[in-house]
Structure 1
Amino acid sequence: MTTLRRVEGSLMNSGLNVLNVSQNYFVRGGSDRYFLTLGDLLAEKGNLVVPFCARSEHDLPSDWARFFPVGANFESPSVIDVVRYHYSTAAKKNLAELVAGQRFDIAHLHIYYGKLTSSILGVLRDARIPTVQTVHDYKLICPVYTCNRDGNPCEACHGKEYWRALIYRCNRGSLLRSAVSMSESYVSRWLGSVAGIDRFVAVSRFFAGKMKESGIDPLKIVVVPNFVDVKRFEPRREQGRYFIYFGRIERSKGIPTLIEAFARMPEVPLVVAGEGEFLQHARALAADSSNIEFVGFKRGKELYDLVGGAVASILPSEAYENCPVSILESFAAARPAIGARIGGIPELIEHGEDGFVFERGNVDELCAYVKTIWSQRASNGMGKAARSKVEQQFSAEVHYRRIRSIYDSLLC
């Protein structure tokens, strides 16, 4: 463990040099957005934040881009890409050059596997840099990151028996893809994906429990939920005009359940914002429902305006969710949420106070809660409670204190 670098004064009030590590330096998904937003938050608080990511034509501008290595090509992989997916000599070499020329107090990892790989962990260990990882998905216990098989929750691998992914062909039904996922999981574990991390930040109590069940030391796990920059959201006071789902359009997100529910309620409008592999199927399912509108992928102010114009958001997932930011963003806009009772969703929604939770896949129950909120939309009492909750529990300021306390605990 690295010795304390600052022996006088308050650690919380002094800036740190933070190496912020993730595979993408652009927003492709929720983990990328968190990685970039956390970097901004840390910088605002007086810390030096240096990104280390795989190189891409989509990258945002960065003074540190010269250190970004080439990662595996996931779209059209070659044999060399399969090797890079397991172990990246370029990532190891470039990171070694970076830490040789710049002192770091902490390395904060996100989704680094795949394009950067666990090859970087030895570099951090040799440089005696304490490592924190925010765990955004279920990679530590599932080779395909989802804990989902054939549309149902699956924990067959138990965080160590990765060969089961090959037996069940968990990666898109492909024997070859599943073999690669299996072997990468074994290699990653061997290189230190568990032993080489000083603190794991679980974003839900649910996943913290799953990590402990898989044999990860409970003393290495801290629960810190995701956050939203509340200042970016103006709490909406006008009456909402529709319900909204925003996120990836995938079967595992419960999209068929959502569409079936609103097909039964033609008087209640639904807006679906996002893209994904299930989009065309979803459009076909909703073809006869004029109350369901697909608006494509939205971000920034355009998305926030859509959420603010809604009565409530809905997240009908049928696979394990961790700590979905979509619910927190809905709360920040003073809109309640309806979510499936699975994964970390029930930790965010206080049933009957700032939304409702329903049994996954239960169309009747979902319809009942939609009708309840629709009938009470003029008052928006749940939305006001939701906004109050996000201000008190999920703001940037609260999140920074939680993350900074983890950093400081590793520097003592």
Structure 2
Amino acid sequence: MPAVPSTVLKVSQNYFIRGGSDRYFFSLAALLEKKGHSVIPFAASQPENLPTPWARYFPTAVNFSSPSPADLVHFLYSRPAARALARLLAEHRPHIAHLHIYYGQLTTAILPILRRAGIPAVQTLHEYRLACPVSTLIDAQGQLCQACSGKDYWRAVAGRCNRGSLARSLLSAAEAYYARLLGGVVDHIDRFITVSHFQRRKLAELGVPAQKMSTVHNFVDVSQIAVNPVQGEYFLYFGRVERLKGIFTLIEAAAPLKDTPLLIVGDGEARAEAQALVERRGLSHIRLLGPKRGEELQQLIGGSRACILPSEWYENCPMSVLEAYAFSRPVIGADIGGIPELVDPETDGWLFPAGDVEALRDRLLTALRNREQTLSMGLAGRKKIERLFSQERHYEQILDIYAKVL
């Protein structure tokens, strides 16, 4: 009988939903609690945080908008986070720690605290931070890049990979080097969970020990989501509004399709630029709605004809694909990263070459011209979720990972 932890410490920089990794953080916590585990959250204290009695242990967040010298130091190594976690562990005893994205706010300062307390640690990897100081394997020009090769982080400074900024890139590289100086993330984490086979292979290629990684795809709980046989009349993108997400490729592809609305839901660094482009070209059928959550987002997904994921970086297991399927909507996705692991062409969606405007426009037109096929593909996606990405299957896989380190 595998060991089963009764109390799980869940660690993330955010205790609110900003992106797909945050949604997964909360979904997994809810699943563990549903199965009878106690869950202790640990995150940075931020105004957007959801209420929790555990907030009294949360350290003060780093101010990224107008950082002080202390904020810059805490970005590299957060003594407040280390002290806060030590205080929590002195008063409560979790059996295992499950980490998500924690650097920048909590930093690697928390890892020796867990180790000294004798608490096994697993980490779900939502991107490529172990090999790339800016997490994305994307350079300043928006091109795929592996120049750092998991160790030569100075190349990120030379290329100004963090938003084209020398200062930001220097800070990112310093954080990566400092983490290695402290013994390295790999040495402090007992098991890494990759969320796609592509991610696991890519990280192994870049130096992360393959024997410390296991793949567990994300999941969606569809128990309260009805199958939806009614097709909508608009296309939908929901996620971060950033250049690496292919937002501008999507706008160009949809620009001539003036009879079919394209709704862009989310926030991000490229939102203002995208809004300006839409207004300048008079693309009134393309609307940027800003961030939506909960029932409002669910209604938008369920009311669409198809959901689009035009990413131009190595996506792993994007929640937007799984959530589209959960609401019986097909997916038009770029053939990059882990997306092809989720989309079966002509069965539950379509793939197109990442960054190819004409190919994406062709897939949009195909979805418009083949109404019955588009509807049946959405229903096939729903069946796939129930079969391969259910909460029951996910729970079994996560429990198996926990058992390996207990």
Q: How far off is 1:11 after superposition?
A: 4.0
Alignment counterpart, residue 285 of structure 1, candidates 265, 269, 277: 277
User: What is the 5 A alignment of 1:7-406?
Assistant: 10-11=1-2, 16-149=6-139, 150-191=141-182, 192-287=184-279, 288-379=282-373, 380-406=375-401
CA distance in 1, matches of 2:153, 2:224: 42
2 CA distance for matches of 1:294 and 1:81? 33
In structure 2, runs of 5+ residues without a counterpart are none
Partner amino acid, structure 2, of 1:186:
Y
CA distance in 2, matches of 1:333, 1:34: 17
Alpha-carbon distance in structure 2 between the residues aligned to 1:352 and 1:189: 45
Q: Distance in 2 between matches of 1:139 and 1:41?
A: 26
Normalising to structure 1: TM-score of the pair?
A: 0.94
Q: Which amino acid aligns with 2:171?
A: V
SS of corresponding position for 2:188? coil
Q: Structure 1 residues 126, 15: closer, same or farther in 2, change over 3 A?
A: closer
CA RMSD of aligned residues (A): 1.4
Q: Distance in 1 between matches of 2:94 and 2:268?
A: 38
Q: What secondary structure sits across from 1:181 in the alignment?
A: helix
Relative to the length of structure 2, the TM-score reads 0.95
Query: What is the alpha-carbon distance in structure 2 between the residues aligned to residue 183 and residue 239 of structure 1?
Result: 50
Specify the SS of the correspondent of 1:152.
Answer: coil
AA of the residue aligned to 1:389: K
In the alignment, residue 167 of structure 2 is paired with which amino acid? L
- Structure 1 window deviating more from structure 2 (370-379 vs 201-210): it is 370-379
Instruction: For residues 90-132 of structure 1, give each alpha carbon's deviation from its aligned partner in whole angstroms, at most 9, with x where no partner exists.
Output: 1111211221222221100011111111111111111111110
Identity of aligned residues (%): 51
Gaps of 5+ in 1: 1-9
Deviations 1:275-315, CA, capped at 9 Å, x for gaps: 22222322233232232222221111111111111111001
Q: Per-residue CA shift, 1:194-252, capped at 9, x if unaligned?
A: 11111000001111011101211111100011111112432211122111111111121
Find the aligned partners of 1:134 and 1:58 in 2 and give their Cα distance: 23
Give the deviation of 1:15 after TM superposition: 5.2
Q: Distance in 1 between matches of 2:53 and 2:243?
A: 40
Separation of aligned partners in 2, 1:295 and 1:378: 28
Change (3 A) 1:59 1:290: closer
Q: Residue 173 of structure 1: CA displacement? A: 1.6
CA distance in 1, matches of 2:247, 2:317: 19
For the 8 Å contact 1:15–1:46, the answer to whether it is kept is no
1:271 aligned counterpart, secondary structure: strand
* Cα distance in 1, alignment partners of residues 331 and 355 from structure 2: 16
On the 8 A contact 2:195/2:316 being kept in 1, the answer is yes
Which deviations, in whole Å up to 9, do the C-alpha atoms of 1:253-288 show, x marking residues without a partner?
111111111112223321111222222322233232
State the number of aligned residues. 401
Partner-residue secondary structure (3-state), 1:194 = helix
Distance 2:70 2:405 in 1: 37
Q: Say whether the 8 Å CA contact 1:30–1:325 is kept in structure 2.
A: yes
| Alpha-carbon shift at residue 71 of structure 1 (Å) | 2.9
> Could you tell me how far apart the structure 2 residues matched to 1:189 and 1:43 are?
34
Tell me the amino acid that sits aligned with residue 165 of structure 2. S
Quick one: distance in 2 between partners of 1:57 and 1:276?
A: 18
In structure 2, relative to structure 1, the CA distance for the partners of 1:271 and 1:57 (3 Å cut) is closer
Residue 326 of structure 2 aligns with an amino acid whose one-letter code is: A
- 1:223 aligned partner, one-letter code: T
SS at match of 1:139: coil
